[in-house]
Amino acid sequence: MSYAAWVFVWLGLGSSSAMEMQTQPDWAEVFSRFDAQGTMVVLDARNQADTTLVHNPQRAQQRLTPASTFKIPHTLFALDAGLVDDEFQVFVWDGTEHSFAGHNADQDLRSAMRVSAVWVYEGFANALGLARSQQYLRQLDYGNADASSNADTELGAYWVDGNLAISAHEQVAFLQRLYRNALPYAVEHQRLVKDVMVVEADREWILRAKTGWGGSIGWWVGWVEWPTGPVFFALNIDTPNRMDDLAKREQIARAILASLDALPAR
């Protein structure tokens, strides 16, 4: 089966779909400009075109740790399980010092998503337990749906240092379902998650996105909403220089989205 045909079948779109996939060799220059190795998948659904653009198609199939991009579905799990009521509920910081200063404070859903407060989501994971976390992942068909980790007593951050993995193509497919409120959760919960994902907005567009970093892999995933339709994206890159490479996630993705007139250039 050809790569393009595999993507049609893998995404469940079938040969009758109007979706079209195109490899983008020109995007290699953007990755090179920022001295980064990685992949980016863009599904441009403006004007009902549903065109998928890909840099490094082989890597776009590769499943990698989702890191903090997993906070998007994880928030849905917490809402569905009743671990959090709304965006105003406060999670009290226990005083444990974390390496990121923004984590050392009380959080709500919006701030926990914005600063990527791992301790809030470790609390969700431990409250859910392995069996229920596994059930949610399978229900969602999220990546390899594997919540196992090497933690001895607690589930821990299995989305960072466990066995959970997802590809860039799978990230985009998941985001499409969330955008359409088509996930197996209450519509009001899906709308709330989309609300706390807002990064930036203007009169004509809204950017909803989430970063992720697993130590050696950095992500930026989300979509830009336009009056003519959404533009979904998922980028992952290697981060050999660790924190020094983190800014490259948004820099590369924004440059590519700007080249498509999908996001204004900074």
Per-residue pLDDT tens digits for 116-135 = 999 999 999 999 999 999 99
Contacts of 68 (CB under 8 A, 6+ apart): 116, 118, 159, 160, 210, 211, 212, 213, 219
Residue 151 gets which letter from DSSP? -
For residue 17, is it within any domain?
yes
- The count of C-alpha atoms lying within 13 angstroms of the C-alpha of 8, restricted to the half-sphere facing its C-beta, is 14
B/e letters for 2-16, b = 16+ CB within 10 Å, e = fewer, are: eeeeebbeebebeee
8 A C-beta contact, residue 219 and residue 250 = no
pLDDT in tens, 224-247: 999 999 999 999 999 999 999 999
- Average pLDDT (89-111) is 92
For residue 238, is it within any domain?
yes
Q: Is the pLDDT of residue 149 over 90?
A: no
- The three-point CA angle 108-183-188 to 5° equals 45
- Backbone phi and psi for residue 168, each to the nearest 5 degrees, phi listed first: -65, -40
Q: List the catalytic residue out of 68, 111, 149, 167.
A: 68
- The three-point CA angle 169-182-189 to 5° equals 110
For residue 265, is it within any domain?
no
- Per the model's pLDDT, the better-predicted residue between 21 and 103 turns out to be 103
Task: Quickly tell me which residue has 């907005």 as its tokens.
Answer: 201
Closest Cα partner for 39 from 51, 23, 50? 23
- Average pLDDT (149-166) is 81
The enclosing domain of 41 has a CATH number of 3.40.710.10
Q: How many angstroms separate the CA atoms of 159 and 211, rounded?
A: 13
Residue 15 binned pLDDT confidence (cut-offs 50, 70, 90): very low
Tokens of 76: 């849905």
Q: How many angstroms separate the CA atoms of 36 and 66, rounded?
A: 18
pLDDT of 48: 82
- Average pLDDT (26-55) is 95
For residue 247, is it within any domain?
no
Average pLDDT, the chain: 91
For residue 263, is it within any domain?
no
pLDDT of 49: 80
Q: Is the pLDDT of residue 13 over 70?
A: no
| C-alpha distances in Å from residue 129, one per residue of 45, 81, 86, 173 | 37, 11, 21, 26
Residue 151 binned pLDDT confidence (cut-offs 50, 70, 90): low
Closest Cα partner for 116 from 102, 137, 95? 102
Domain coverage including residue 45: 3-242
- Average pLDDT (51-66) is 97
**pTM, full prediction:** 0.90
- Average pLDDT (199-227) is 97
Active site residue 68: yes
Helix 187-196 vs helix 168-179: crossing angle, to nearest 10: 120
For residue 98, is it within any domain?
yes
Q: Is the pLDDT of residue 12 over 80?
A: no
**Total domain count for the chain?**
1
Residue 11 gets which letter from DSSP? T
pLDDT of 152: 54
For residue 157, is it within any domain?
yes
Tokens of 185: 């959760």
For residue 255, is it within any domain?
no
- Average pLDDT (17-29) is 79
